[in-house]
């Protein structure tokens, strides 16, 4: 299961604990591309810390794939479409 889905399930079970709030803030910071204090991660237990690391890894990978798809769309619709005319 990817970390984004795993985090959602984690937050559905418990959204009020300190680790849940830290993880939610991390997810919001990633989505909004804003700063997140790394010291907050050290307040997490091992499993939650692992989830945070997995979330950041998956988020980066998802951004890579999104950028790759945008490039492919641009290449096909703008660059190569003009060459065939």
Domain spans of the chain, in order of start: 3-83
Instruction: Give the confidence band of 20 by pLDDT, cuts at 50, 70, 90.
Output: very high
| Closest by Cα among 26, 75, 81 to 48 | 26
In sequence order, which residues have a C-beta less than 8 Å from that of residue 27 and are 6 or more positions away? 7, 55
> pLDDT tens digit string along 27-76?
999 888 899 999 999 999 999 999 999 999 988 887 767 766 666 676 66
Write down the pTM of the prediction. 0.76
């Amino acid at each position: 299961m990817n970390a984004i889905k795993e985090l959602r399930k984690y937050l559905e079970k418990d959204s009020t604990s300190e680790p849940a709030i830290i993880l939610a803030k991390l997810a919001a910071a990633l989505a909004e591309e804003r700063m997140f204090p790394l010291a907050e991660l050290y307040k997490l237990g091992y499993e939650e810390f692992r989830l945070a690391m997995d979330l950041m890894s998956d988020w980066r990978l998802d951004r890579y794939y999104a950028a790759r798809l945008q490039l492919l769309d641009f290449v096909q619709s703008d660059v190569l479409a003009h060459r065939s005319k």
